[in-house]
Amino acid sequence: MKASSLSRKNKWPYLFIAPYFISYGVLSLFPIIFTLYLSLTDWDLYGNRNFIGLDNYKQLFFHDSYFWKSLLNVFIFLIGYLPALVIFGMLIASVIESKLIRSKTFFRLSVFSAYMTTPVAVGIIFALLFDWQGGFLNQLFVELGWMNQKINWLGSAESARWIVIMMVFWKNLGYFVMFYTAGMASIDRSIYEAAVIDGASAKDVFQRITMPLLKPINLFLIITSIISGLQLVEEPMLLFSGWASGSSMVGGPDGSTFTPIWYMFDASFDSSAFKYGKGASIAYSTFLFIAFFSIMSMKWFNKEDKGR
């Protein structure tokens, strides 16, 4: 299709795209490239500006257990919440979309509300729930007699990880349900009717029709979850900001909820270090992992497609 009859040398399209490309160059492209340069220096707040080659990366990959721990953490979280999000997302979406439920909007909105909540507030709300002395759950369980002593949920590495997993699950379930409902609504009704006439059970219909047709959505959700999951930061940061108990803890107990981007922030802005070079190398290393794992999962999906 010919887009327009104007001559290809017309100046207007260039004038229309100029603001975007100029601002992109100054405000995005330059910072991205300059961050790459920073990652090769020992740049900090106190005047160091030396080019040190790959030293930051060597330090990070071979001598920094914190970096590996933070990466391991985000993968543990992903393994914890992603399958649950996919399963519960589909289940709840299919129940909401089924003929059994009448007030669809109410249910859709109630699971969606957590997704609208500021990540900062999500972290704090969970800190209020699980706090040791003043936490709601501890008080509730003691009152009901289920526990005879308050448990320091946020104080142990294992339970802290579970809380982060629950928190991300709580926040993102609405997002998954929303995509699945949109996908289910776009499936042609007549396919279902034909299947039912042919004597297919509800389980068959779900496995043989709904699941395969939702595949592009699963691909999208899983890849975007990997990308955003590796960048997780605000929720665990605020969970341990000391909002509830009063004392903050970088990385949670024993660094069990430390994440790469949190590390980037801590190295470049938060601690007394202000090591921009180190922070920049954490940023680039993390994005290498993000790129690697999103390409891997895309490949895996495509291979499965051909296998059918």
Partner 1 sequence: MKNVKKWITVVSLSLFCLLFLFPFYMMIVMGTYYSEDLFRTLPILPSNYLLENLKTIMSANFLLNYWNSFYVAVMFTLLAVGVAGLTGYAFAKFDFKGRNVLYGFILATMMIPGQLGLIAYVMEMKWFGLNNTHAPLILAALNNAFGVFFMSQFIRSSVPTEVIESGRIDGCSEPGILIRIVLPFMLPAMSTLGLISFLGSWNNYLLPLVTINKPDLYTLPLGIANLSTVFRTDYSASILGLTLGTLPLIILFLFGSKTLVQGLTGGAVKG
CB 88 within 8 A of CB 96: no
| Cα 102 from Cα 290, distance rounded (Å) | 41
Binding of residue 124 to partner 1 (CB under 8 A): yes
- Which of these segments, 69-77, 148-156, 172-180, 297-305, binds partner 1 (CB under 8 A)? 172-180
Binding of residue 47 to partner 1 (CB under 8 A): no
Closest CA to 236 of 109, 86, 65, 76: 76
Binding of residue 48 to partner 1 (CB under 8 A): no
Question: Which residue's CB is nearer to partner 1, number 73 or number 268?
Answer: 268
Applying CB under 8 A, among 66, 132, 162, 287 the residue interacting with partner 1 is 287
Residue type, 72: L
Question: Which residue's CB is nearer to partner 1, number 141 or number 192?
Answer: 141
Residue 253 gets which letter from DSSP? G
Residues 173-232 contacting partner 1, CB under 8 A: 173, 175, 178-179, 182-183, 186, 216-217, 220-221, 227, 231
Question: Which residue's CB is nearer to partner 1, number 152 or number 254?
Answer: 152
- Which of these segments, 19-27, 156-164, 188-196, 300-308, binds partner 1 (CB under 8 A)? 19-27
Binding of residue 86 to partner 1 (CB under 8 A): no
| Cα 127 from Cα 135, distance rounded (Å) | 8
Closest approach of partner 1 to the CB of residue 306, in Å: 18
Question: Which residue's CB is nearer to partner 1, number 8 or number 303?
Answer: 8
Buried b (16+ CB within 10 A) or exposed e, 46-59: eeeeeeeeebbbee
Q: Which residues contact 33 (CB under 8 A, 6 or more apart)?
A: none
Which residues on adjacent β-strands are paired with residue 41?
51
Question: Which residue's CB is nearer to partner 1, number 110 or number 201?
Answer: 110
| Cα 213 from Cα 90, distance rounded (Å) | 12
